[in-house]
Amino acid sequence: MIKVFDIFLIFLAIYIFSWGTIKHFKLWRIGKEDKRFDKMGARIKSFLVEGFAHRKILQDLYPGSLHLCIFLGFIIPFGVIFIAQFMFTLPVLMARLLSLSLDIIAILAIVSLLLTLYRRYVTRPSRLDNKPEDFKVLALILLIFLTGIFLESLRLSVIGKDTQTWAPVGKALATLINTAGWSAGTKSLLAKIIFRIHFFLVLCTIAYIPFSKLFHLISSPMNMIFRSLDPKGALSFMDLEDEKAESFGIAKIEEFTWKHLMDLDACTRCGRCQEFCPAHITEKPLSPKKIILDLKDHLHLRAPQILKAKSKNTEAEEVPPLIGNLIEKEALWACTTCRSCMEHCPVFIEHVDKIVDMRRYQVLMESKFPEELTTAFKGLETNSNPWGMGRDSRADWIKELDVPIISEASGEDIEYLFFVGCIRSYDDRNKKVTIAMVRILNHLGIKFAILGLEEGCCGDPARRLGNEYLYQILAQANIKTFNHYNIKRILTTCPHCYNTLQNEYPQLGFNCKVVHHAEFLQENIQNGRLKLEHSLAKRTTYHDPCYLGRYSGIYNPPREILQSIPSLDLREMRRSRIDSMCCGAGGGWMWMDEKIGKRINIQRLEDALATDPEWITTACPFCVTMFDDAIKDKNMEDDLKIWDLAELVEQALFGEKKKLPPATESNT
């Protein structure tokens, strides 16, 4: 009778679990189409490496290890039960190894759960918020482990010497139980009661999964499987000529794709995204975690209404748009698109894409954006640069220099098109970097050319600001020119141009090899063509630009370049490489005023100052400008200089003391 009742309970738990899980799947299905079923091999690999082996979760070692132990404590017993069910008698060695692994993992899981409770309720890192269900879930799992290990100890205590079982902890506890002097009958009765409790707790947990944060056991691995496998820096392509499109961008929850809705359910509220967000750190009203959780709450409220209306063949009642209601406008525009949230999120949630999609609606459908951007958009439209500076002055920096222009060099065998970019063309401080790069190219005898007045903005600022229409116009104009000159290889000193040309232009049909100057310089130093013989006895720290580091994975080449300069003392900042903090200029912030909180460039300068540097080095024109401004702000022009890698290579190569550009020279 008990067995029949047990089977009924098992089926009931599975039924509730399945019903709850399918409900989640239905919610995601209100979203739009998203092609995520390609490259299945890579997706399965992602599931194994990220889901099982916890690669990204372990990036944050302490909480990551705790999570891994609890996860294994969950998975391994299920595996063992499965093996035990399907193999009548296990070989002795296998039985011993299984009992040993169960013993160890149970203890590790219990210790990890206790430490997790301690971390959540005693040390309480600011990135964690506590809800009653957090405690319920942790307590439930802890009880399952405790009853499980107590049960095993009782069993060992009853059967006495068991050479089949290697369970040092279980046996030690069994010895302890034996000291109580209970009779075999009492122990058996106790074992039966504990087993019932254990069994009931396991079934309750299975049924509870879809209705609690434990659902991440399902949604997070799924999110890892269906994560974006496109280049990191490529925002989604928008077909502006799609006649069926009713609007562009996102204003309603159902306008996200099903994968973006799955993202919301995969969030574990770990807060890693928020901890590294430069906007959040400097007290702007943006938390990537809050955006995801607010959207999640809204999905769970709104999707049932949409599904109900659909089933009745009617339209769901209109609700106010997301922006300005659920998500503050200031939060939406505070994002610098630095990708820190995405690189730290252990379950591959795609924050930046959602933010840019919502910006797209604001710009393309509502013409609503921060006032300062009007000038930037106008400048891009009329003169193909965000300051609106004369197009005919784009190549003024080449005056008195021997720089080949492609229209005059056509027919010649060009190794590289040197794509200069807006800031390196117009900004006086950054022009020095461009000139340094030209001197290095000439020294190497590289056959290169620039587009001169035919070059236009790559479109990065317009795209990150949600102005997809303008981006596509700018990109198409450049692509037409590239095709006209049959360009096969591009060199650039700007990580934003690098990303856009390399990763986003293919969406418009242009493919070509793009090289960033950090890679180019490192390669030529390594192969001996660039000999850096002049020492620069200074202390410097290196700032990783977001679009070079997190977006493009180029962390080592800049450091190798600096380490190959004689006497240069390279110091690392606390937040470096993947943890590097944005300079504050990305996502269009180069052309907006930070009115709320601390300025990001000031915060980043303070990070650098903690290394006691004489110089700061970087590899991005945005970063050069932002540091230059921050240094001026702190009146530190005499003590601290900002350099680009190309300028240091130039100095170490030619051995001349370059005249430092006066801080006031910046003209953009």
Binding-site ranges for ligand SF4 (CB under 6 A): 267-273, 277-279, 286, 288-289, 292, 335-341, 344-345, 347, 349, 351-352
Q: Is the Cα torsion angle 338, 343, 345, 348 positive or negative in sign?
A: positive
Strand segments (E) across 28-153: none
* Minimum distance, C-beta of residue 593 to ligand SF4, in the bound complex (Å): 16
* Minimum distance, C-beta of residue 357 to ligand SF4, in the bound complex (Å): 13
3 state DSSP class of 344: helix
Give the residue with the Cβ less far from ligand SF4, 153 or 340: 340
Give the residue with the Cβ less far from ligand SF4, 203 or 338: 338
Give the residue with the Cβ less far from ligand SF4, 99 or 337: 337
* Minimum distance, C-beta of residue 552 to ligand SF4, in the bound complex (Å): 15
Contact of 333 with 370, CB cutoff 8 Å: yes
Contact of 47 with 225, CB cutoff 8 Å: yes
* Minimum distance, C-beta of residue 59 to ligand SF4, in the bound complex (Å): 11
Instruction: State both tokens at 172.
Output: 């030690």
Give the residue with the Cβ less far from ligand SF4, 581 or 605: 581
Residue 513 parent element (H or E): strand 513-516
Give the residue with the Cβ less far from ligand SF4, 110 or 335: 335
* Minimum distance, C-beta of residue 290 to ligand SF4, in the bound complex (Å): 9
* Minimum distance, C-beta of residue 574 to ligand SF4, in the bound complex (Å): 17
* Minimum distance, C-beta of residue 285 to ligand SF4, in the bound complex (Å): 12
SS3 content of the chain, % helix, strand, coil (to 5): 60, 5, 35
Tell me which residue has tokens 């009146």: 635
In order of 84, 91, 162, the CA distances from 88 in angstroms are 7, 10, 18
* Minimum distance, C-beta of residue 376 to ligand SF4, in the bound complex (Å): 18
* Minimum distance, C-beta of residue 366 to ligand SF4, in the bound complex (Å): 21
Give the residue with the Cβ less far from ligand SF4, 154 or 286: 286
Buried b (16+ CB within 10 A) or exposed e, 599-630: bbbbbbbebbbebebebbbbbbbbbbbbbbbb
User: Could you give the residue ranges of the DSSP H alpha helices within 485-579?
Assistant: 495-499, 517-526, 556-563
Alpha carbons within 13 A on the beta-carbon side of 195: 12
Give the residue with the Cβ less far from ligand SF4, 349 or 616: 349
Residue 154 parent element (H or E): helix 132-159
Residues paired with residue 450 on neighbouring β-strands, in sequence order = 405
Q: Residue 42 and residue 109: Cα distance in Å, rounded?
A: 30
Alpha carbons within 13 A on the beta-carbon side of 430: 24
Phi, psi of 404 (to 5 degrees): -70, 135
* Minimum distance, C-beta of residue 35 to ligand SF4, in the bound complex (Å): 23
Q: Residue 548 and residue 305: Cα distance in Å, rounded?
A: 44
Q: Residue 564 and residue 529: Cα distance in Å, rounded?
A: 13
Phi, psi of 583 (to 5 degrees): -80, -15
Give the residue with the Cβ less far from ligand SF4, 347 or 570: 347
Give the residue with the Cβ less far from ligand SF4, 458 or 583: 583
Give the residue with the Cβ less far from ligand SF4, 235 or 530: 235
